[in-house]
Amino acid sequence: MNKLIKSIGVAGLAGCALFAEAQANTLQVSGTIYKVSGGTTYDTWKINMLSGGTFKVDVLAYEATQKQTSTAGYQEIDLNNDGEITFLDPDTYIYRDDGLLDAGDMLARCDDSDGNHCPDSSNQPILTNTDGSADGSLFLRDPAFNVTLQAGNYLYLVADYTLSTSEAVAGINTNDNLTLPTGLAARDHGDYRLTLSSDTLNFSLVGNTITVSQVPILGAVWLFGSALAGLATVGRRKIAGV
Protein backbone atom coordinates (compact mmCIF):
# COMPACT_ATOMS: atom_id res chain seq x y z
CA MET A 1 0.00 0.00 0.00
CA ASN A 2 2.81 2.43 0.84
CA LYS A 3 4.46 1.75 -2.52
CA LEU A 4 1.21 2.48 -4.31
CA ILE A 5 0.72 5.76 -2.46
CA LYS A 6 4.30 6.79 -3.29
CA SER A 7 3.75 6.00 -6.97
CA ILE A 8 0.59 8.09 -7.08
CA GLY A 9 2.43 10.95 -5.36
CA VAL A 10 5.25 10.96 -7.91
CA ALA A 11 2.86 10.78 -10.85
CA GLY A 12 0.73 13.49 -9.32
CA LEU A 13 3.74 15.80 -9.07
CA ALA A 14 4.61 15.09 -12.66
CA GLY A 15 1.06 15.91 -13.72
CA CYS A 16 1.15 19.13 -11.70
CA ALA A 17 4.42 20.05 -13.40
CA LEU A 18 2.76 19.63 -16.78
CA PHE A 19 -0.14 21.80 -15.65
CA ALA A 20 2.17 24.47 -14.17
CA GLU A 21 4.20 24.62 -17.36
CA ALA A 22 1.00 25.17 -19.29
CA GLN A 23 0.16 28.28 -17.32
CA ALA A 24 3.18 30.46 -18.04
CA ASN A 25 6.54 30.68 -19.72
CA THR A 26 9.35 33.24 -19.65
CA LEU A 27 12.45 33.79 -21.75
CA GLN A 28 15.27 36.24 -21.05
CA VAL A 29 17.79 37.28 -23.70
CA SER A 30 20.59 39.82 -23.50
CA GLY A 31 22.54 41.91 -25.96
CA THR A 32 24.96 44.83 -26.32
CA ILE A 33 24.79 48.00 -28.39
CA TYR A 34 28.21 49.30 -29.51
CA LYS A 35 29.51 52.72 -30.48
CA VAL A 36 31.09 52.52 -33.93
CA SER A 37 32.37 54.91 -36.55
CA GLY A 38 29.39 56.92 -37.75
CA GLY A 39 26.93 55.97 -35.02
CA THR A 40 25.88 52.90 -33.03
CA THR A 41 24.86 49.35 -33.81
CA TYR A 42 21.45 47.83 -33.26
CA ASP A 43 20.44 44.22 -32.57
CA THR A 44 17.93 42.15 -34.49
CA TRP A 45 16.04 39.25 -32.91
CA LYS A 46 14.05 36.98 -35.20
CA ILE A 47 10.62 35.98 -33.88
CA ASN A 48 9.02 32.90 -35.40
CA MET A 49 5.34 32.77 -34.42
CA LEU A 50 4.13 29.22 -35.00
CA SER A 51 0.64 30.39 -34.06
CA GLY A 52 -0.91 33.72 -33.20
CA GLY A 53 -0.94 35.02 -29.64
CA THR A 54 -0.10 37.75 -27.15
CA PHE A 55 3.02 38.09 -25.01
CA LYS A 56 4.73 40.76 -22.93
CA VAL A 57 8.10 42.30 -23.74
CA ASP A 58 9.94 44.00 -20.88
CA VAL A 59 13.17 45.88 -21.63
CA LEU A 60 15.86 46.56 -19.02
CA ALA A 61 18.47 49.02 -20.31
CA TYR A 62 18.58 52.16 -18.15
CA GLU A 63 19.90 51.90 -14.60
CA ALA A 64 19.56 55.39 -13.12
CA THR A 65 16.86 57.21 -11.20
CA GLN A 66 17.02 60.47 -13.17
CA LYS A 67 17.94 61.81 -16.58
CA GLN A 68 20.90 63.94 -15.39
CA THR A 69 23.47 63.54 -12.63
CA SER A 70 22.72 67.11 -11.55
CA THR A 71 19.10 66.20 -10.70
CA ALA A 72 18.42 65.96 -6.98
CA GLY A 73 18.11 62.36 -5.84
CA TYR A 74 20.07 60.95 -8.77
CA GLN A 75 21.23 57.36 -8.22
CA GLU A 76 22.74 54.54 -10.25
CA ILE A 77 21.70 50.95 -9.46
CA ASP A 78 23.00 47.79 -11.15
CA LEU A 79 19.56 46.21 -11.63
CA ASN A 80 20.72 43.10 -13.49
CA ASN A 81 23.84 42.57 -11.35
CA ASP A 82 26.22 42.43 -14.32
CA GLY A 83 28.81 44.72 -12.73
CA GLU A 84 28.06 47.64 -15.07
CA ILE A 85 25.69 50.59 -15.08
CA THR A 86 23.85 50.89 -18.38
CA PHE A 87 22.35 54.09 -19.77
CA LEU A 88 20.83 52.87 -23.02
CA ASP A 89 17.66 54.72 -24.01
CA PRO A 90 16.07 51.84 -25.95
CA ASP A 91 14.13 52.38 -29.14
CA THR A 92 12.47 49.17 -30.29
CA TYR A 93 10.62 48.15 -33.46
CA ILE A 94 8.75 45.17 -34.81
CA TYR A 95 9.08 44.46 -38.52
CA ARG A 96 7.45 41.84 -40.70
CA ASP A 97 10.20 39.45 -41.81
CA ASP A 98 9.80 38.74 -45.52
CA GLY A 99 13.49 38.19 -46.14
CA LEU A 100 14.30 41.81 -46.93
CA LEU A 101 14.26 44.60 -44.35
CA ASP A 102 12.54 47.68 -45.74
CA ALA A 103 10.45 50.56 -44.42
CA GLY A 104 7.20 49.04 -45.65
CA ASP A 105 7.64 46.07 -43.30
CA MET A 106 7.66 48.16 -40.12
CA LEU A 107 4.60 47.33 -38.00
CA ALA A 108 5.06 49.24 -34.75
CA ARG A 109 7.46 51.07 -32.50
CA CYS A 110 7.78 51.17 -28.71
CA ASP A 111 10.15 53.68 -27.12
CA ASP A 112 9.78 55.02 -23.55
CA SER A 113 7.53 53.36 -21.00
CA ASP A 114 5.78 56.69 -20.40
CA GLY A 115 3.99 56.24 -23.72
CA ASN A 116 6.35 57.97 -26.15
CA HIS A 117 5.77 56.28 -29.54
CA CYS A 118 4.15 53.28 -27.91
CA PRO A 119 2.10 52.42 -29.84
CA ASP A 120 3.07 54.35 -32.95
CA SER A 121 -0.35 55.45 -34.21
CA SER A 122 0.95 55.92 -37.75
CA ASN A 123 1.45 52.18 -38.09
CA GLN A 124 -0.46 49.02 -37.28
CA PRO A 125 -1.38 49.43 -33.57
CA ILE A 126 -0.22 46.02 -32.36
CA LEU A 127 1.45 47.33 -29.20
CA THR A 128 -0.33 48.26 -25.98
CA ASN A 129 1.81 50.19 -23.52
CA THR A 130 1.86 49.43 -19.82
CA ASP A 131 2.67 52.06 -17.23
CA GLY A 132 6.28 51.39 -16.27
CA SER A 133 8.21 48.15 -16.48
CA ALA A 134 8.07 45.08 -14.28
CA ASP A 135 11.86 44.69 -14.14
CA GLY A 136 12.21 47.58 -11.69
CA SER A 137 13.77 50.08 -14.08
CA LEU A 138 14.13 53.36 -12.25
CA PHE A 139 13.69 55.99 -14.97
CA LEU A 140 10.97 56.04 -17.64
CA ARG A 141 13.20 55.09 -20.55
CA ASP A 142 12.64 51.33 -20.72
CA PRO A 143 9.57 50.16 -22.65
CA ALA A 144 7.27 47.44 -21.35
CA PHE A 145 4.37 46.39 -23.53
CA ASN A 146 2.10 43.62 -24.74
CA VAL A 147 2.33 42.54 -28.36
CA THR A 148 -0.23 40.55 -30.33
CA LEU A 149 1.06 38.87 -33.49
CA GLN A 150 -0.43 36.49 -36.01
CA ALA A 151 1.41 33.35 -37.08
CA GLY A 152 4.43 34.27 -39.19
CA ASN A 153 7.98 35.61 -39.07
CA TYR A 154 8.95 38.93 -37.50
CA LEU A 155 12.02 40.97 -36.56
CA TYR A 156 12.40 42.73 -33.22
CA LEU A 157 14.97 45.54 -33.42
CA VAL A 158 16.65 46.96 -30.30
CA ALA A 159 18.57 50.23 -30.64
CA ASP A 160 19.66 53.16 -28.49
CA TYR A 161 17.92 56.53 -28.66
CA THR A 162 16.26 57.10 -32.07
CA LEU A 163 16.47 54.60 -34.91
CA SER A 164 14.71 55.70 -38.09
CA THR A 165 13.37 53.21 -40.61
CA SER A 166 16.00 54.31 -43.14
CA GLU A 167 18.76 53.71 -40.56
CA ALA A 168 17.31 50.28 -39.78
CA VAL A 169 17.49 49.41 -43.47
CA ALA A 170 21.05 50.80 -43.68
CA GLY A 171 22.15 48.72 -40.68
CA ILE A 172 23.53 51.57 -38.53
CA ASN A 173 22.03 54.12 -36.17
CA THR A 174 23.74 57.23 -37.54
CA ASN A 175 21.95 59.71 -35.25
CA ASP A 176 23.19 58.15 -32.02
CA ASN A 177 26.32 58.50 -29.92
CA LEU A 178 25.34 56.56 -26.77
CA THR A 179 24.15 59.70 -25.01
CA LEU A 180 24.94 59.56 -21.28
CA PRO A 181 23.74 61.65 -18.35
CA THR A 182 25.59 64.97 -18.01
CA GLY A 183 28.89 64.62 -16.17
CA LEU A 184 29.59 60.97 -17.01
CA ALA A 185 32.55 59.78 -19.07
CA ALA A 186 31.79 58.56 -22.59
CA ARG A 187 31.35 54.80 -23.10
CA ASP A 188 31.70 52.59 -26.12
CA HIS A 189 28.86 50.15 -25.38
CA GLY A 190 25.70 49.50 -23.40
CA ASP A 191 24.01 46.25 -22.35
CA TYR A 192 20.31 45.43 -22.29
CA ARG A 193 18.05 42.53 -21.32
CA LEU A 194 14.71 41.48 -22.81
CA THR A 195 12.17 39.44 -20.87
CA LEU A 196 9.40 37.77 -22.87
CA SER A 197 6.53 36.23 -20.92
CA SER A 198 3.06 34.83 -21.51
CA ASP A 199 0.36 32.75 -19.84
CA THR A 200 -0.46 30.94 -23.06
CA LEU A 201 2.75 30.75 -25.10
CA ASN A 202 6.05 28.85 -25.02
CA PHE A 203 9.38 30.46 -25.98
CA SER A 204 12.52 28.75 -27.21
CA LEU A 205 15.81 30.28 -28.34
CA VAL A 206 18.32 29.12 -30.95
CA GLY A 207 20.98 31.70 -31.82
CA ASN A 208 19.09 34.95 -32.35
CA THR A 209 15.81 33.23 -33.30
CA ILE A 210 12.98 33.13 -30.76
CA THR A 211 10.31 30.56 -31.58
CA VAL A 212 6.89 31.18 -30.05
CA SER A 213 4.29 28.42 -29.84
CA GLN A 214 0.99 27.82 -28.13
CA VAL A 215 0.98 25.91 -24.84
CA PRO A 216 -1.42 22.96 -25.13
CA ILE A 217 -3.21 23.62 -21.84
CA LEU A 218 -6.05 21.21 -22.51
CA GLY A 219 -3.57 18.58 -23.65
CA ALA A 220 -1.57 18.93 -20.44
CA VAL A 221 -4.68 18.60 -18.31
CA TRP A 222 -5.76 15.57 -20.36
CA LEU A 223 -2.36 13.94 -19.84
CA PHE A 224 -2.58 14.62 -16.12
CA GLY A 225 -6.04 13.06 -15.96
CA SER A 226 -4.95 10.07 -18.02
CA ALA A 227 -1.95 9.49 -15.75
CA LEU A 228 -4.15 9.47 -12.65
CA ALA A 229 -6.71 7.21 -14.33
CA GLY A 230 -3.98 4.78 -15.30
CA LEU A 231 -2.58 4.72 -11.77
CA ALA A 232 -6.03 4.16 -10.36
CA THR A 233 -6.37 1.09 -12.61
CA VAL A 234 -2.96 -0.22 -11.52
CA GLY A 235 -3.93 0.40 -7.92
CA ARG A 236 -7.13 -1.63 -8.25
CA ARG A 237 -5.18 -4.46 -9.82
CA LYS A 238 -2.61 -4.47 -7.04
CA ILE A 239 -5.27 -4.38 -4.37
CA ALA A 240 -7.22 -7.15 -6.13
CA GLY A 241 -4.12 -9.30 -6.28
CA VAL A 242 -3.32 -8.88 -2.59
pLDDT in tens, 144-169: 888 889 999 999 999 999 999 999 99
H/E run at residue 49:
strand 43-49
User: What is the residue range of 9's domain?
Assistant: 1-23+217-242
* One domain for residues 77 and 96: yes
* One domain for residues 65 and 129: yes
* One domain for residues 126 and 137: yes
* One domain for residues 14 and 32: no
In a domain, 210, yes or no: no
Angle, CA 44 vertex, CA 138 and CA 168 arms, to 5°:
95
Q: SS3 of 29, please? A: strand
Sheet of 127-129, strand order: 39-40, 25-36, 189-198, 53-60, 144-149, 127-129
Q: SS3 of 173, please? A: strand
pLDDT of residue 224: 46
* One domain for residues 69 and 101: yes
pTM here is 0.77
In a domain, 64, yes or no: yes
Task: State the pLDDT confidence band at 21, using cuts at 50, 70 and 90.
Answer: very low
* One domain for residues 234 and 144: no
* One domain for residues 58 and 169: yes
* One domain for residues 41 and 152: yes
* One domain for residues 14 and 121: no
pLDDT of residue 114: 66
pLDDT in tens, 76-126: 999 888 999 999 999 999 999 999 999 899 988 888 766 666 765 555 445
* One domain for residues 17 and 108: no
**Pairing between β-strand 39-40 and β-strand 25-36 as defined by DSSP bridges:** antiparallel
* One domain for residues 222 and 149: no
H/E run at residue 224:
helix 217-241
Number of domains into which the chain is organized: 2
